[in-house]
Amino acid sequence: MEKFIVLYKAPVSIIEGWMATPAEDRKAQEEKMRGDWQAWALAHEGKVFDTAGTGKTKVVSESGVADTKNDVMLYSIVEAESHDEAAQMFVGHPHLGIPEATIEIMKINALSGV
């Protein structure tokens, strides 16, 4: 089995617009997505080893440290036999119900000596 990092992305403007919607108007859609996500996770039990949300972002460069924003909302670590198998796990994933959302899957390559 190989390990992959999965990045769940959505444009900052879409998420900010959603968060500006009154909570009572968002509640039913958020509950549906949570339920759909739990069903997806159950269907892929044993292959998903870590999922967490991301927070505020800092960028470090030669110029120093600065606040920034990016489209990464969450990440997961998954195991699969191949990159293609890992990607197929996410076809139809509930995250894709967010307008303009994408999911990126990258193989994790261990670094030796680091």
Listed in sequence order, the residues at least 6 apart from 87 whose beta carbon sits closer than 8 Å to its beta carbon are 105
Q: Domain holding 13: CATH number?
A: 3.30.70.1060
Classify residue 113: in a domain, yes or no: no
For the stretch 56-101, pLDDT in tens is 999 999 999 999 999 999 999 999 999 999 999 999 999 999 999 9
Please spell the DSSP secondary structure of 58-105, one letter per residue: EEEETTEEEEE--SEEEEEEEEESSHHHHHHTTTT-GGGGSTT-EEEE
- Overall domain count for the chain: 1
Residue 112 belongs to some domain of the structure: no
Query: Facing residues of 2 across strands?
Result: 80
Q: pTM (2 decimals)? A: 0.90
Q: pLDDT band for 105, please (50, 70, 90 cuts).
A: very high
Q: Does 14 score more than 80 pLDDT?
A: yes
